[in-house]
Amino acid sequence: MKLKEVTRFAPSSWHGTFINTTPQSLIDLAEKWNVPYEDNNDGSGKTNFDFEFQTSDGVQFTVYDWKEYEELELGRKYRFHIGGENINRTVEARNVLTKLLNL
pLDDT one-digit tens code per residue, 15-58: 999 999 999 999 999 999 999 999 999 999 999 999 999 988 88
Half-sphere exposure of 51 (CA within 13 A, CB side): 27
Please list, in sequence order, all residues whose beta carbon lies within 8 angstroms of the beta carbon of residue 42, skipping any fewer than 6 positions away. Answer: 48, 71
Q: How confident is the model at residue 64 (pLDDT cuts 50, 70, 90)?
A: very high
Residue 1 has a pLDDT of 64
Query: Alpha-carbon distance 5 to 37, whole Å?
Result: 9
Residue 32 has a pLDDT of 94
**Overall domain count for the chain:** 1
Interval 50-76 mean pLDDT: 94
Query: Alpha-carbon distance 24 to 1, whole Å?
Result: 20
Residue 5 has a pLDDT of 67
Please indicate, yes or no, whether the overall pTM of this predicted structure exceeds 0.75: yes
| Residue 85 lies in domain | 3-100
